[in-house]
Structure 1
Amino acid sequence: MIMRRITLALALLALGLMTAGCQPAPPPAPAPQVALWAVSDGHAPRGWILGTIHSLPPGTQWRRASIDAAMAAADRLVMEIGDPVTPAAAGAALARLAVTPGLPAPAERLDGQAKDALLRAYQKLKLNDAQFKDQESWAVALQLSALASQRAGANAADGVEPELRARMPGKPVEGLETIDSQFGVFDALAPAAQNRLLADVAREVNDPRDGDAQMLNLWLKGDELGLTHEANSDFLGDPVLHEALLAARNRLWLRRVDALLRQGARPFIAVGAAHVVGGDGLPTLLRTRGWTVTRVY
């Protein structure tokens, strides 16, 4: 479940560093009800917010008529990162931020069960400490998570963002962050928080259970309570990590989104699903600025 929860929290750019796997399309499922919110000043909608999952099993059906109508009515697409994320760009950003010469091997940064979990994750993924020489713990965690997700069949090319780009041709695309600023959120974490993230990812690699499928189902059903619970569980339940990866970023995005709306823009805003639920999610924050935000069914 850690892998899917990371994709809820950020774009997981490390997925672009590896070759995507290919799995059969999932069996037919009930009609999707992925959550969509309309933002207004009490009258006609002025913008829309969609929570996304950034990597999906091929063939996942998530769109519905109200989402298509919102995309058609919007004058621009606003995502976490505006420019398409290429493997070269993601790799270069990781190289700029992830390396600190002289670091101990990743396994030596962990103790007891956490260290054992990392070594077992290495064995499962056919990796070793030497492949992450001088890389900070956050970067190791993202790469382990990316590889495990891909082996489970998730693919960034099949995620929501590429489809949104394809279905909103000719409309400008704006980003709330850059590749560097998103990786920089992790890079700014204290070593203890980075090691917590690495340990949690290693445990999930070893024992994935059915968490990713559960998370995907919650998203497809538009289950706000379920997604709120997941956005406050495991590493996102750690106050330091929750603040850095979700709450602080949401507050920064709020200023940009509020300004766009007040300037008369009609944005279709698509960000990780964890950013749109709960008391620190974008819909709730926009209400504090006086906007009417309502769920669209």
Structure 2
Amino acid sequence: MSLFKRLLFAVIPALLLGMGVAWLGRDKAAQDPVAQAGSARVALWEIADNSGTVRGYLFGTVHALPPETQWLRPAITQALAASDRLVLEIAEPIDQSVAGAALAELAGTPGLPPPSQRVGAKVRDDLAKVYRKLGLTDADFADTESWAVALQLAAIAGEKAGSNPESGSEPVLRQLAAGKPVAGFETIRSQFGVFDALPAREQQVLLREVTIEAASEDDEEAAMIAMWLRGDDLGIAREANEGFLADPGLHVALLTNRNRDWADQLDAMLDAGAKPFVAVGAAHLAGSDSLQRLMMARGWAIRRVP
């Protein structure tokens, strides 16, 4: 699974996807859309209590999709209609200015060496290749911490490949949930804060992996979106344990710890009588530390909706 696709499914702040090219004033390239009209089986789960009463839903999203991707199915719209609120990673709609301010506040440290001196000699040629491909230089990332360089490279590469956060799952769900309250597990700043708190070693691993995979000529986006469209959560779980997420420190910080925090919030929400439709990055709903497993450990029953 390519680096950008893994970020797209799991851990890249959704708001940064909307900034990628705009952050550096670049133009976005066009790409033919991935359309799967009438065939989508995107995974959806019910949350039930001990009596079997359905108390909420879990849905895995893709934060940015090629335009006109057809992914909705009746079970999703019915579940959202039956819920009393929509719960996303971040409650606020995409706002590039707010995200940009948060990134600017956290991402800068004066006196940092240029990124090309942080990736190591073996990866330096790859970074130069990425720079040429995206029209960037070290100067674009002066005094920018490694995590922020990595995320911006991934976001810019994704936007240039044609993925668009306005075509992602969240804007569609917001539209369908019109009139219902929208809550968030995190804020714009707290999402960036997860990356900002990474130790230097993990930040370097992240930047290295972004560089290596962004330099690759392989394009797996269509295949990965097809995996999501057919509801292959086992495949997503397998891919979410490769690349930089195979690093224990990064996996715990970017997936496990966040899932635990979200499970605590969701458990309290359900105990208070809410009936939420929870929509978070698909990789958070896959694997041994998935949100489903954490909710089951808290006494809730989870069932896949056909």
1:67-115 Cα deviation digits (max 9, x unpaired): 0100100000000000112110110010010000111111111212222
1:181/1:240 Cα in 2 relative to 1: closer, same or farther (>3 Å)? same
Partners of 1:132 and 1:12 in 2: CA distance: 21
2:33 alignment partner, one of 5, 14, 25:
25
Equivalent position SS for 1:6:
helix
1:209/1:30 Cα in 2 relative to 1: closer, same or farther (>3 Å)? farther
How much is the aligned-residue C-alpha RMSD, in angstroms? 1.3
1:278 alignment partner, one of 276, 287, 295:
287
AA aligned to 1:8 is F
Equivalent position SS for 2:55:
strand
1:229-269 Cα deviation digits (max 9, x unpaired): 01101011111110000000000011100001111100000
Partners of 1:228 and 1:47 in 2: CA distance: 22
1:131-175 Cα deviation digits (max 9, x unpaired): 100000110111111111111110000000001001110100001
Equivalent position SS for 1:252:
helix
TM-score, structure 1 normalization = 0.97
Are 2:45 and 2:305, in contact at CA under 8 Å, matched by a contact in 1? yes
Query: For 1:137-176, what aligned pairs fall within 5 Å after superposition?
Result: 137-176=146-185
Are 1:78 and 1:270, in contact at CA under 8 Å, matched by a contact in 2? yes
Partners of 2:272 and 2:35 in 1: CA distance: 44
**How far has the Cα of 1:34 moved from its partner?**
0.6
Matched, 1:228 2:237: yes
Partners of 1:167 and 1:47 in 2: CA distance: 16
**How far has the Cα of 1:9 moved from its partner?**
1.6
Identity rate, percent: 50
Residue 47 of structure 2 aligns with which residue? 39
AA aligned to 1:14 is L
Are 1:94 and 1:183, in contact at CA under 8 Å, matched by a contact in 2? yes
Are 2:36 and 2:71, in contact at CA under 8 Å, matched by a contact in 1? no
**How far has the Cα of 1:208 moved from its partner?**
4.4
**How far has the Cα of 1:124 moved from its partner?**
1.1
Partners of 2:35 and 2:250 in 1: CA distance: 35
Of 214-223 and 269-278, more deviation after overlay is shown by 214-223
Unmatched runs of 5 consecutive residues or more in structure 2? 23-27
How many residues are aligned here? 297
TM-score, structure 2 normalization = 0.94
Partners of 1:161 and 1:113 in 2: CA distance: 38
Query: For 1:136-285, what aligned pairs fall within 5 Å after superposition?
Result: 136-285=145-294
Partners of 2:123 and 2:36 in 1: CA distance: 38
**How far has the Cα of 1:24 moved from its partner?**
3.2
Residue 7 of structure 1 aligns with which residue? 8
Of 140-149 and 107-116, more deviation after overlay is shown by 107-116
Residue 126 of structure 1 aligns with which residue? 135
